[in-house]
Structure 1
Amino acid sequence: MKVFLVEDEIVVREGIKNNIAWEKEGYQFVGEASDGELAYPLIRSMKPDILITDIKMPFMDGLELSQMVKKELPDTKIIILSGYNEFDYAKQAIHIGVTDYLLKPISSAKLIEAINKVREIIKKEAQEKELLIQYKQDMNGKTVIEKKNFFFEIIKNKLTLLQVLEKGKKLGIDLAVGAYSILLLKIYSKNNPYEYSGYLIAAIAEIDDLLQNSVDVIKFELENEIKAIIIKAENEKKLEILIKTYCNRILALLQDKSDIEYFGGIGSIVTRISELQDSYHIANRAFSARYFTKTNQIINGSMLEKVNTYHNDMIDMQAIDSEKMNKSHLDKFLKNGSKEEINHFIEEYLLSAGNVNIKSILFRQYIIMDIYFCITAFMESIGYSKDKIVAELGSFYNLEDFIASVDASKKYMIRLLYKAFTLRDAIARQKYGEILKIAREYIQENYDKEDISLNTVASIVNISPTYFSAIFSQETGQTFIEFLTETRMNKAKELLMCSNLKTTEIGYEIGYKDSHYFSYIFKKTQQCTPKEFRFRGKE
């Protein structure tokens, strides 16, 4: 621990420096000066842990020096030595944030005693910082949810520019640049999009490391394990280079991993935060193309062909993209798609029919019936009866209304898919219930294990940690770590009231091998220390 001394009386200064065995006491005496003006640049350079300064000195006194040091180095602790037992000096020192105020003359023994007390304060504060960092890391799941909500607030233009910047600052997100683009990316197991595997976790971890260690990107975890990445730069030209760079890096990390698949969609470049919704729209449209094209690529949405207006009602068989109209694409979308992607999927699906053909009433009728029966088959496959399906989707009694125009047909197809996804998600929630039941039981039985984590519990229910984290929060209203902490705290309170175990032993019993961290978490969640809780119960 480094100590710096400022004292204008040379006899006093030499006495303090030479009469204390600094190294033996565990300190490093790093410098000295005769006044504040000479001391300040040295202090800035050496960054001592403890500054000892006289109060009355020429050129710059101890109070002025202390004020400057506290502003520049707020963690440095200051001990003031003064020959003036005046309240005004002490009052000013307290206001500045001085740690101790000692009166001269003072013996070496008394001074080292005061310095040792300050050292204990420094150690305690350092420990508090470490515990806070660990706590924030443990509670990271909550931040992920807050960031996701913030992303959609931006995309839906729910916030003013000032609100975006202020909220972003609280979340550690800086959006004050000149150009932006959005990349949507999904990485999943090749055979089962919801399957948990070590290969998948390793691949996602590599991508997360790439994205988290850069100031140029902001990563958001969305539903269905989709990553939304805002790439930002000073201007459009630099952003174009960054987009290519990050796409190439992502492809390089994933290209040789045969057990996984991935797909990405890039939005347009925009120059305002309020225009990010446009970039997201284009990115989402490109991302939806994964149901119609090969996987393991990143598509630039700005390069996709736009859906044009339709000119006549002839059917042109040459214009039909039979590969994109393959029912397997629709079936894949029904299994893995999201409601947010429905509009873009229908646009791409109709585009594959050919601009000319979709003008035909007969052709639109064929497509609508094909989609309807495909949805019906899918609904039956996940457990719905035909009566329930017809009741939810409706019948064809008003088919002529749905095929009357291109716009009416699109709206009807979108409505069909939206209802299908609502039914599918209801079944999924029932499945989630079983997954969460298993997860809760595992936590209740294993909360005392130090190594229990989101990853270990996700592996028990055989889904990826990101997906498990999302459904756990969605269905319980708590993050995984909040539930685990609550379980541990309930057991801790029981042991505090019903046993003679020491606090250290109780922390160990419920999974905290670091007793300091256990006490920190307990106070953070229960608003009192374990000792206070135990005493309160015995009153």
Structure 2
Amino acid sequence: MIRVLVADDEARICKLIIKLIDWDKNDMQVIGTASNGIEALELIERENPDIIITDIRMPGYDGLEMIERAKKIKSDLEFIIISGYGEFEYAKKAIEFGVKDYLLKPINKDDLLKALLKVGEGVKKKKGQILLEKEYEQILKNDANKIREGLLNNLILFQPESFRDYTLSEINENHHFRFHEGFFRVAALKIDSVGVDCFDTIKNRINETRDMIRAELQNVTYELDFIHSKRDLYIIMNYNEAQKRQIEKGLLKILEAFKRRVSMVEKLEITIALGEEAQDLSGITESFQSAKLLVEDRLLKGTGKIIEIDKKRTDQAEIEDMFYYFSKKFIKAVELLDIDEVKKTVMHFKKDICSKNIRGAELKRMILEMENIFYLTMKSNNIKVESAQEDGQNLKNLIDNCSSIDCLFNGLLEHVASSLTVLAGDKYHNNLKQIKQAKRYIEENYMKNITLEDLGAHIGFNPSYFSSLFKRETGISFVEYLSKIRIEKAKELLRESDLRIQDVCLMVGYSDAKYFTKSFIKHTGLKPNEYRKIFA
């Protein structure tokens, strides 16, 4: 966890900074606050922070002097400075001294978080590099295989840009490789379990498959090595033109051998994804990244095969439009706690997306976004899901280990349906059925001159009682909700049709154009014609 010290002579500023950020979520911890430069230096010595957020001017020491003294205590400290507009030139000078970022007062939450994440990423990399250097010192005492492994892990996983700093002869001489001029390629090998997770079994099978690959390809490549990353195996290959076909045959042979020996018995599936082919060593990191991305495409292309790069992709704007319209229907079904409608909406989206040519990684992103939309919808409707954080992590773990589109969507539906089932039966939500009926009635009749009495008669409640119930359960009044639905429909018509604004006004239930315009401005901050110009 990254350790953060906050230093400002105004206590309210320190409190504000601490309150603005969800520190645990961002893997950070505030280890103390200081009101002057002297206190800050004492805390630095005692608490060993990684990042200091400090005012540019404080009692005790001038800002730059405090930074200079702090660097002598801990040379790898990172600083984010806070300054007023009048201190801008001073802040720029501080950045010349190695300060990573500065914030202008008043402090904005988004700017503060952005600065912390940027500086925190540098701290993590630095810590990782220090750890790698220590490990590398130990590796140097071991055999050549570990030296090779250390270099590949370091350069490909942590410092990909550093490959450009090495020549083939340097790497061969210093790290026991036999690289030649020719082609360089990384293949990703993924083993998935069907149904039951079995991490240890997969780990053993990956090691066995690695040995099979080594035996099959060792003599048909200039160089062959491997990188292990969680449940994945990455194969680094260096070869010439004549060896390409032999490598392809060898990988196919390994796939078939795996399926014969392992798949049926242990219900495991294997996939190999071939990254981009590079013509020099510096391109091997791009090959690694493309292989890592490509292996996720097994979700749509299937397992038990070799996946190669396919440049044909459905236009991203079309995918985003599909997801946008799905989201609207999904949100409505979730708001009504309608499990059947949620399932119907999700499965319809699955059918649509299966007809498109998209990346597996993009599909995973959309599934996670659906989960996020679900919880945001719950929150916006004042419905508390007690196990949201735990359920979210369980879904993320499931998605990480899915090998098919069915697994993804079934996992999402099980996750959402179980939460909705609990909510529907919870005593706290005994009245939600009536609220659901009321919302549906409003959404089906918003264009009419409906009243609270009409709604009460439809639901079977006293209008006065139902008014308070609706406000308590939804957070807004009947009139506010009706207005919201009407304006949302008006926005849709303004975006997607050429209807006159007066016609839109009548179609969404307003008889007075001036009142419609006033309500539209209240909800959107824009006049109807201005909204159309921007969003149509």
**Larger fraction in helix:** 2
Q: Select the structure with the greater relative contact order (CA < 8 A; seq sep ≥ 6).
A: 1
TM-score above 0.5: no
Q: Which one has the largest radius of gyration? A: 1
